Amino acid sequence: MKKLFLLSLTVAFAVLLAVPASAAVEVVDPGYYARFRGKGKSINVHNWGEYIADGSDGGMDVIAEFEKLTGIKVNYTTFSTNEEVYARLRGGSANYDVIIPSDYMIARMIREGMLEKLDLSNIPNAAFISEEFRHNAFDPTAEYSVPYTWGTVGVIYNTQMVDEADLGSWDLLWNEKYMGNILMFSNPRDAFGISLKRLGYTINPENEEQLSESLAELKKQKMLVQAYVMDEIFDKMIGGEAAIAPYYAGDALTMMADNPDLGYFAPSEGTNLFVDATVIPKGSREKECAEMFINFLQEPKVGAANIGYIGYSSPNDAVLAELPVEVIENPVAYPPREVLAKTDFWKDLPPELNKAVDAAWTELLSSDEQYSKWLIPMMMAAGIAASVTINLARAYRRRRDREYTDSFPKKRM
């Protein structure tokens, strides 16, 4: 489904990323991957949906290539939100060797002792990570994570359904003109982050007062929202079932490739700059195999195939060198400095504020305000009924007045 190379309009990119079934993927050190061949090893990888090249676009199937190269079987599953993967790990019912959460969740997992420290001698390709993405605030010592992708959040809109004059601000998501055609994030950090930015704050609530103010705005918006979504956004926006949605820039590129009526903008108030990174959960049974998988994802050719498929931005300098200039100059994937200057990174919130965010999210979803597809027809029906009632009343008064007038004797002329 991911087709970023269609946006670049270069056959060269498609050729670059294609790996024939008979050819081995090109890696920096082939001997490195021979350690576990024939040993019956397997790893459990948990990732976002639609977030790794699977060969469906005619390019590389990353997991299949890793299995062929190393002999390690990959059991691959997906999640929809950071909170979902956190709950699975915290609940103790899941056994994963590699997961790919976002920055603020990684910080929380580090703080709560949920991640293994990485042995970077087993991940030599981590040296390709750009300097600006090393020692991030969520992992300042770079001991627990290797960045996978980065990106920003903006607004996707249907150019045939949205007036150009309404574009440019987060206010579009609160515009009553588009009632029932607005989608919203189905996760608390993104939803509250947007509301906070619109109010002039950073995306990270600093106290419960800011959170309450943000919640009040989201409650006002709820009447306009068709649905709270994550991966469902693809079908809805590509199929023209909704007009407006906030989402990740990489996925916006995918949707625009599939539907030329879609556009995208970074809101003037500013937005989120996020990093998703590979980490190893505490207690992994195959830590070295997991580190080998993380290293494979940082191979220049593999990383280029991934970026070409998922549409997100790469923090890997060697991968950037593999990509066509049309991709790295795309302002959606690689925004200009003036856009980046207005971005905030997610922060790991204090435990009490995390609980307040969760409680506020529950309150929002359970509040009475709710868009219904029957709301507009009902309002129209009510309006028609009111009009009919008024007209009948007027007709009755006119008839009564005539009858009253006719009751008087007529004057002789």
Domain boundaries, the chain: 30-144+280-333, 151-273+360-366
What ranges make up the beta strands (E) of 203-356?
A: 225-229, 244-248, 262-265, 271-278, 343-344
Question: Which segment of 38-47, 258-267, 384-393 scores lowest on mean pLDDT?
Answer: 384-393
Q: What percent of the chain has pLDDT over 70?
A: 84
Torsion angle, CA of 314/317/323/326, rounded to 10 degrees? Answer: 80
pLDDT, one tens digit per residue, over 294-303 is: 999 999 999 9
Q: Do domains 30-144+280-333 and 151-273+360-366 have the same CATH topology?
A: yes
Rounded distance between C-alpha atoms, residue 302 and residue 61, angstroms: 9
Q: Does domain 30-144+280-333 have CATH number 1.25.40.10?
A: no
Please state which CATH number belongs to domain 151-273+360-366.
3.40.190.10
Report the predicted TM-score, pTM, of the whole model to 2 decimal places.
0.81
Rounded distance between C-alpha atoms, residue 135 and residue 229, angstroms: 32
* 57 burial type by CB count under 10 A (0-12 exposed, 13-18 middle, 19+ buried): buried
pLDDT, one tens digit per residue, over 160-206 is: 999 999 999 999 999 999 999 999 999 999 999 999 999 999 999 99
pLDDT, one tens digit per residue, over 19-49 is: 444 457 999 999 999 999 999 999 999 999 9
Nearest to 120 by CA among 287, 349, 367: 287
Q: How far does CA 140 lie from the centroid of its chain?
A: 24
